[in-house]
Structure 1
Amino acid sequence: MAEIHLESVTKRFGDVAAVQDIDLVVQDGEFVVLLGPTGAGKTTTLRLIAGLEKPTEGRVLIGGHDAAPRSPAERDVAFVFQQYSLYPHLSVYDNLAFPLRAPVRRQSREDIHKAVERVARMLRIDHKLENRATRLSGGEMQRVAIGRALVRQPSVYLMDEPLSSLDAKLRSELRLELQHIQRDLGATMLYVTHDQIEAMTMATRIGVLDHGRLVQIGTPREIYESPRNTYVATRLGMPAINLLPAGAFAGAAMPPGTTLIGARTEHIVVDRGQGGGPRARVEWIEHLGDQNHLHLVMGDHRLVTLVGADTNLSVGDELQVSLRRPLFFAADGERIAA
């Protein structure tokens, strides 16, 4: 396995900077997820590492060596795309074996068979090895696509939203499988997604991208609890973080310069008390089985909080609102320390 190091990497397409001055280190054996919306520069970053694009500025290092002189085939990376990209006329076995039959590898038939059988068992598709790729379900095809990368045992795995086209149940299953595989192999993986659940549940560290810039990188807990700005704060959390003007909590203690207050759903406390704090009206209750989302109207502002499944609140109830562990932001959206 190998470390990935991006040194001040920028990639421009004409006047458009798809990636801007990114410094990123993915340690050997680490599972890093790049999170951001469409157009944030996630896929371009992977393509730069794979050698499918050349940086306009900066350097890409793999295993401590400058990757610039190396072609994509020489970089020893495996790329798993969003679409399955299988050979439809080949069986599952032959799709998995294809990378090992390349002239540059020249592996024996016995070694290829052992590698294919091992990966197929790992991904639970060993009973499908004789099937044509066109006779598989979506989840099975994605397993084959992932297996074709795993069978090579490259230095680095690059994954470009490989689960996004699957249904929710399959995504959940494959998230767990990828975590186990990465841990068992000790593999270096760089995975990109716009799905916050994938990022939170899979990553060793999350890097948040915004218009080609790496805004913040840290553990999932660090990104969630200590976002650098409002952009990062809104990337994680479901429902999204509540952002309210400081004036909505006039009189509350807050650092100088605070313009916005951020409150996660679990950090909003409501009760029927009659204290002097702000009050809100229950507008809607979403019943989710184990808990409820409480939609509130507080003056001109709306917010969402969590309450237990056995709540006795009703639409129209008037409640007192208080915050615990709120986040404070300046006018430019940057975080202010409490």
Structure 2
Amino acid sequence: MDPTPNEAALDEAVAGLLDAAGITAQRKLIARILSAGLGLGHDGASRLDLKITAAAVEEMRAAYRLFKPYSATPKVTIFGSARTRAHDPLWVGAEGVARGLTEQGWMVVTGAGPGIMEAAATGAGPDRALGVSIRLPFEERPNSALAQDNGHLVSMKYFFTRKLMLVKESRGFVCLPGGFGTMDETFELLTLQQTGKMEPVPIVLLDRPDGTFWRGFARFVTEELAGSGMIAVDDLDRVLVTDSVDAAIDEITGFWRNYDSLRWFDDRLVLRLRAEPSDAELAELGERFSGLCLTGGIERTEPFPAERSDRDRLELPRIVLVPRERAVGDLYRLIRALNELPSAPPPAVAETHPAP
């Protein structure tokens, strides 16, 4: 349907506003944002709805600006209880895993509160820690490791915008024991991975030495959720449950040893790698993961036309397959197998970090 004269005039006005603001890049998307805001006015949205929308957009903009200078630096988000005290083995573990990852070039993202969040920010150091805090009437204030440097901290009113930014920029996650908030964040990570709304990333559930928190969680998931048919039996295979700081660091960094990224083309899944697998390696993978493939096997491929058009990682070798539905656990096993191929780049050399 052709736009009405009012819609055409509105589009022209929006285009004029973009011109006046000097905006030349991504004009269509910015015009959509402006038009959606104007549409709320036409819809008669309530004051509360408008306040939520305005605050959410403002908070996302502030967070995007925080992360933009570090877009090329890999980041890990560390979750855990705000009530964990200094010198607790969990505190020491969070501090150790943060320090170990920053020594390998990573940055650490936290919720900027006390407890585990402060431990992780302390381990990372002020130059390698980014915080996304939440304004609450109780409990949480920006921790001392971040409050001194407002350039690495952004504050949010809403949990949903905060959770978006704690997840969006990171290439790995470490969850330590915590309460409702930590469990909410952990289950959201698992949900995003299970449903394919997030690309595969390493997730570590890190406990104190000989701790039972995450083992009990895994038992509940396996016996109650998988046992009742509510999730697949291998849905937790993507997660490492450990009490070892070194194992947590190795899981985060090792996940990206050879695997780089993926992209879907209808039912075909393309995996981009850092090193070309040999014919023998590809044949072995095809036989080992035949159950992952709905049809055909695992093959080499050239970049797809859409990848060429977008100039999307064209320099990397690729493999392609048609996976069966709900095969998240097998996909993670395939990624780990790709990382362990003899042709894969050598693993990063990490320092040893004593157990807490």
With the shorter chain as reference, the TM-score category is: under 0.3
Higher Cα Rg, which structure = 1
Structure richer in strand, relative to its length = 1
TM-score (norm 1): 0.26
- Larger relative contact order (C-alpha < 8 A, sep ≥ 6)? 1
Structure number with the higher helix fraction is: 2
